[in-house]
Amino acid sequence: MLNNEAIKDICKQLKIAYIDDLIETSTTKQKEYIYEVLNAEIEGRKRAKLSKLLKTSNIPQIKTFEGYKFDEIIFPSTCNKERLISLEWIKNKENIVLMGNVGTGKTHMATALSIEACRKGLNVQFFRVSELVETLVYKYNQGNIRQFRNRLKKNELLILDEVGYVPFDKIGSELLFNVISECYEKQSIIVTTNLEFGQWSSVFGDTKLTAALIDRLVHHASIVSFPGESNRLAQALTNQK
Ligand SMILES: Nc1ncnc2c1ncn2[C@@H]1O[C@H](COP(=O)(O)OP(=O)(O)OP(=O)(O)O)[C@@H](O)[C@H]1O
Ligand SMILES: [Mg+2]
């Protein structure tokens, strides 16, 4: 049976402060109706918040874990499928590196995790890393990079997708290093990459900067491996048959 506390609880969530007397004197049927109305408001607010978070997150497309195949993915001892999806690592300000072959589901996984994070009410910013570097360099040249970096700081989760496909010049590498450095132990990052760490200096140029960047990224991180074959290729071959 619905009790007064359940309604008061929901009022608290909605910051409704002056209807306690009305609840106390209501009939059971009236209370049920009040509860239903307030609950509808809670659900509506949740939906509106999710849609705002998804809109501002820059997530490229909606991809979820429904139908996602985990069999070829290798988890480290620090993480498994359940822990990954629970997003507990965001609470602990840990990072996730999704590393492996082309077309194996890294971006799909990063996207699905971003959507999960939005569902939990967290602020997320999804970037193809080359676009982020382009923006950083542009803002730097315009003299308003601080404002942009402050905006990045408001997110609980940043996604740096496709590290490895496009190399960066000196200034781009340094600006990206600063972003990763500022996130260290304060915000979580998901990186997707086709390159093992030993090859990262081919992207960032300077070996010292690359080492310092990897050091910060992996200090509290789980590295998930994607050794499989490309799903794109597999799909294209199936379609041709
Ligand atoms: N494990 C999987 N389960 C279901 N679908 C998958 C899986 N892996 C990949 N796909 C699908 O295959 C396509 C390619 O995946 P995705 O873009 O995530 O690959 P990627 O690892 O990011 O590749 P790249 O390194 O080229 O960016 C997408 O359409 C994705 O939905
Ligand atoms: Mg990808």
pLDDT value at residue 73: 97
116 CA distance to ligand 2 middle (Å):
18
Kindly report, as residue ranges, where domains of CATH 3.40.50.300 are found in the chain.
Answer: 81-240
59 CA distance to ligand 1 middle (Å):
15
102 CA distance to ligand 1 middle (Å):
8
Q: Fill in the amino acid letter for 30.
A: Q
Q: By alpha-carbon position, which residue is closest to atom 8 of ligand 1?
A: 105
Nearest listed ligand to the Cα of residue 161: 2
131 CA distance to ligand 1 middle (Å):
20
Direct distance between the N- and C-terminal alpha carbons of the chain, in angstroms, rounded to an integer:
59
| Ligand 1 neighbours by CB, cut-off 6 Å | 63, 68-69, 102-108, 162, 192, 194, 231-232
pLDDT value at residue 15: 96
Q: By alpha-carbon position, which residue is closest to atom 18 of ligand 1?
A: 105
C-beta neighbour count of 147 within 10 angstroms? 10
One pLDDT digit (tens) per residue for the chain, 241 residues: 678 999 999 999 999 999 999 999 999 999 999 999 999 999 999 999 999 999 999 999 999 999 999 999 999 998 999 999 999 999 999 999 999 999 999 999 999 999 999 999 999 999 999 999 999 999 999 999 999 999 999 999 999 999 999 999 999 999 999 999 999 999 999 999 999 999 999 999 999 999 999 999 999 999 999 998 998 888 888 887 7
pLDDT value at residue 235: 82
pLDDT value at residue 237: 84
pLDDT value at residue 238: 83
Task: Report yes or no: 102 and 136 within 8 Å, Cβ to Cβ.
Answer: no
CATH for the stretch 81-240: 3.40.50.300
80 CA distance to ligand 1 middle (Å):
19
Q: Which run of H or of E encompasses 223?
A: strand 221-226
Can you give the pTM of this predicted structure? 0.91
Q: By alpha-carbon position, which residue is closest to atom 29 of ligand 1?
A: 232
Sign of CA dihedral 86, 91, 92, 94: positive
List the alpha helices (DSSP H) in the chain.
4-14, 20-24, 28-57, 81-86, 88-91, 106-119, 129-142, 145-153, 170-183, 201-204, 207-219, 231-240
